[in-house]
Amino acid sequence: MTISLIPKPESENELITRALALSGKNLSQLATDIHWPIPENLNHNKGWIGQLIEVCLGATAGNLSEPDFQNLGIELKTIPLNSRHTPKETTYVCVVPLLNHTGLQWQDSCVYKKLKRVLWVPIEADPAVILSERKVGHAFLWSPTADDMEILQSDWEEFMELISLGQVESITAHQGEYLQIRPKAANASVITTGIGQDGLRKQTLPRGFYLRTLFTKQILQNIFS
């Protein structure tokens, strides 16, 4: 990760204050502030906005498997909004563990750890607006409700059960109420080790947990309606 010019926030309050100060600014302003060049589009740099916001807010975790703001236990998620101000894409959470997950409990899972406290930063993502002119929206801190947690946990447990039974390759993105499992790799030739139907190790495509837009849309509605 690029060395951050901006110190880490020392409290939730400091973080949300900083995040709110970005609202209404466009991506050109933010990139200029930290001396970053702006790509013409995201085709060859899909994570650019997320990394831009990380640096602007002083995130520290880099590519560790920890929340972005380690000292605060808060995960940063940008969320792209279409012209109707609803989520344009699903939200990536973390890699799906395909091996050595026996006995893993929900509260020890990467999904739980990343979602228990999230700073959502909405970003305009209407393709009719060029990247440099897209504006940052109103950020907010969020934790799943008890009902959300129940559904997330039950999705997670069902998926992990299938994986432990060697069914990972039968899982499609149609499954899961709030969570879904989809490929997560540079391309289809990337492989990792999982469990096959015979219970033995088998090479397979790496996968990730994602939040359905149905769920993130609800989160936004509960905040802004």
Partner DNA sequence: TGGTGATCATAC
Partner DNA sequence: GTATGATCACCA
Q: Which residues bind DNA (CB under 7 A)?
A: 1, 41-47, 49-51, 53-54, 61-65, 68, 75-78, 80, 82, 88-92, 94-95, 110, 123, 125, 127, 172-174, 180, 182-193, 205-206, 208, 210, 212-214
List helix spans (H) across 23-109: 27-33, 48-57
Q: Tell the smallest beta-carbon distance from residue 64 to DNA (Å).
A: 6
Q: Tell the smallest beta-carbon distance from residue 161 to DNA (Å).
A: 18
**Residue 66 or 146 with smaller CB distance to DNA:** 66
**Residue 63 or 146 with smaller CB distance to DNA:** 63
How many helices and strands, by DSSP H and E, does the chain display? 6, 8
| Strand blocks (E) in the chain | 75-81, 91-95, 118-124, 140-142, 179-183, 192-195, 201-204, 207-211
Compute how many other C-beta atoms are within 10 angstroms of the C-beta atom of residue 21.
13
**Residue 50 or 144 with smaller CB distance to DNA:** 50
For the stretch 81-98, what's the b/e string if a residue is b when 16 or more beta carbons lie within 10 angstroms of its beta carbon?
beeeeebbebbbbbebeb
**Residue 34 or 190 with smaller CB distance to DNA:** 190
Radius of gyration, CA atoms only, the chain? 18
- Tell me the CA distances in angstroms from 194 to 39, 61, 171, 191, one per residue in order: 36, 27, 13, 9
CA dihedral 19, 119, 181, 126 (to 10 degrees): -30
Where residue 61 falls (left for φ over 0; alpha for ψ -120 to 50; beta otherwise) is: alpha
**Residue 80 or 144 with smaller CB distance to DNA:** 80
Q: Tell the smallest beta-carbon distance from residue 44 to DNA (Å).
A: 3
Q: Tell the smallest beta-carbon distance from residue 175 to DNA (Å).
A: 8
Q: How far apart are CA 177 and CA 195, in angstroms?
A: 24
Q: How far apart are CA 50 and CA 52, in angstroms?
A: 5
**Residue 44 or 146 with smaller CB distance to DNA:** 44
Q: Tell the smallest beta-carbon distance from residue 78 to DNA (Å).
A: 4
Q: Tell the smallest beta-carbon distance from residue 47 to DNA (Å).
A: 2
**Residue 24 or 47 with smaller CB distance to DNA:** 47
Q: Tell the smallest beta-carbon distance from residue 197 to DNA (Å).
A: 18
